Amino acid sequence: MPLALTCGGCDVGKPEPLRAPGPDVHVVGMFPRDGCGTGLLEACTVPTNATITIRFDRFLDPATVNRQAISVYTGERGLGSPTYEVVYDPVERVAEFRLGGNRPYEPNKLYQYELVVPKEPGDYGIRAFDGAPLAEADIPLRGSFVISDEPEVVQPPPPAPSCDLIVSDVFRKLGRCAGSECHRRGNNQTLDTMADLGDAPHQLYLDSPATFTLSAYDRVARQTDLGDFSGGNPQDRSDAVVYVDQNGSRTVVSPGVRFGVRMALVAPSSPGASYLLYKLLIGRDNYQDCSTPTESELCSLPGPCETAHPSLPLPKGECLEPPEDELTRLREWFVRGAPMPRADSSGQRGNVRLQGLRALAQFIAAGATCED
């Protein structure tokens, strides 16, 4: 009997899209929680200028952390939807949806929210760096909250660390990155052009703001220069990205590339797309606390078991160091070689501390500007 007849009453669904071997992404913390402001949850109010803050259990593909990843509305779906500035913190694996355009939530209104779950490869919705999609777990992906009468008084954030401080404290003082074996040019020679990069380990100089800028900004990391497609789950991207190679040539990477391919060492304003940060994130020692408060002025930043997102405190006893399985997935997907900092000639390896990770991420997020 023909197959079409034997399956006359069958539901023939669309095949699942190709996906990565890693587990689904889950929400492990959120503010506002479902029910905030309704009186059902104690000590949970939602100010008119609230930032929706979400913590995830995996490192994310920053291209999927955008305004289309969440739907928030009051009344009919799509009506009264706020506009957001979206910020991704890869150190804490936290996404913030900050109100934009000086338009607060309406007081005493019930708002519905829903995090978008991607089904097809080109769908909007949060994904991990390896393409694994968002899925519901203990914390629901949809719910509601009621806005209070007043805004919260928000103190302006401290200025991002300067380029000088990143080089002097993150790379040298904490990372112990000094000497020709650790990305510094030897023989007192001067790095003037891209052609001089070949003398440094990994063609990266960390010994001064000027050489750091020349060798890292918008330069494709040598370990990621694999071609635009190298397997895995291609992700649609809305914007092409321009990178500069070691010869100064500009390369446009078209939408659809696998995350991690041709990634810049430092992508200004995007720590989640900066390979240098991931080379530090895969090193377990870099999640340690400062040994003493005076080790660096950066040691005043929140430590390994603290958060930089006050509305979303870490559960008691939990710290920010990712599980070893997740670090292994980063290495297998795109972060090649040993973690940074490199060991020196005696085999000693520094670590930048959790505070150094935060400082570098903040510096990049602020535009990674180095003054001449």
pLDDT at 252: 41
Q: Is pLDDT above 90 for 54?
A: yes
Q: Is pLDDT above 80 for 208?
A: yes
DSSP 305-318: T--S-TTSPPPTT-
Residue 221, helix vs strand vs coil: coil
Instruction: Indicate the domain borders of the chain.
Output: 27-146, 163-365
Give me the mean pLDDT over the 187-194 stretch.
53
Give me the mean pLDDT over the 136-147 stretch.
96
Give me the mean pLDDT over the 188-207 stretch.
61
pLDDT at 214: 82
> Phi/psi of residue 171, each to 5°?
-80, -45
Q: Is pLDDT above 60 for 20?
A: no
Task: Please count the other Cβ atoms lying within 10 Å of the Cβ belonging to residue 250.
Answer: 9
Residue 7, helix vs strand vs coil: coil
Inter-CA distances, 109 with 37, 52, 145, 151, 209, Å: 10, 16, 8, 14, 49
Give me the chain's average pLDDT, please.
Answer: 81
Q: Is pLDDT above 90 for 68?
A: yes
Give me the mean pLDDT over the 26-44 stretch.
92
Quote the percentage of the chain above a pLDDT of 70: 76
Q: Is pLDDT above 80 for 166?
A: yes
Task: Give residue-wise pLDDT tens across range 103-119.
Answer: 899 999 999 999 999 98
Q: Is pLDDT above 80 for 129?
A: yes
Give me the mean pLDDT over the 211-223 stretch.
84
27-146 topology per CATH = Immunoglobulin-like (2.60.40)
* Sequence-ordered list of residues with C-beta below 8 angstroms from that of 113, at least 6 positions apart, any chain: 52, 70, 71, 72, 142, 143, 144, 145
- Say how far apart CA 45 and CA 110 lie, in whole Å: 12
Beta bridge partners of 71: 114
- Quick check: bond before 32 cis, omega within 30? yes
Q: What is the pTM of this model?
A: 0.84
Between 122 and 247, residue with greater pLDDT? 122
Task: Give residue-wise pLDDT tens across range 249-271.
Answer: 444 444 446 788 888 899 999 99
